[in-house]
Amino acid sequence: MRALEVRDHAPSTPAVLSKNGVKFALYSGGIDRRADLFRAVKKAIDAGLAPEDALRAMTLTPAEIYGVQDRLGSIEKGKIANLVVTKGDLFQDRTEVKYVFVDGVKFEPVEEPPAAGRTSSTPASEIARESVCRRHSC
């Protein structure tokens, strides 16, 4: 029963940490599909985490924790330019990825026909995200 309670309350943990000024990072460990990471973050947002705190926990805070904030984690002159440009809120299911910049080089997602195991209900943004990352190892 305790394990079920912990699992049930897990999405609210980032909001509690943020509200109490605790530095934390969100990462994809234990998640097989990239889209599942965004769904998990969306659950945390729905449970009270501010979207800007979620984004920070995936960008600048991890860079600070690892001591590389002078090179990564935010958009500033002189830093490595890896970023995703979307049409719509990053954490929404149907958000469209417009561009991906890897080390300052622009890539445009190319939609692929649904692969085996994908249904027509798979959001185009998920297909594009996976396509870009598969081709460019991001």
pTM above 0.85, yes or no: no
**Selection from 44, 8, 4 nearest residue 26 by Cα:** 44
**pLDDT for residue 113:** 64
The token duo for 136 is 């460019």
pLDDT at 5 over 60: yes
Residue-wise pLDDT for 41-59, tens only, equals 999 999 999 999 999 999 9
d(CA 105, CA 100) in angstroms, rounded, equals 8
Compute the half-sphere exposure of residue 53: CA atoms within 13 Å on the CB side of its CA: 20
State how far the Cα of 91 lies from the Cα of 43, in Å rounded to an integer: 10
Span 9-52, pLDDT tens digits: 888 999 999 999 999 999 888 888 877 888 889 999 999 999 99
- 98 has pLDDT over 60: yes
Other Cβ atoms within 10 Å of 113 Cβ, number: 6
Distance CA 138, CA 127 (A): 14
For residues 80-100, average pLDDT = 86
Q: What is the mean pLDDT of residues 60-87?
A: 92
Provide the percentage of residues in the chain whose pLDDT is more than 90. 41
Sequence-ordered list of residues with C-beta below 8 angstroms from that of 120, at least 6 positions apart, any chain: 114
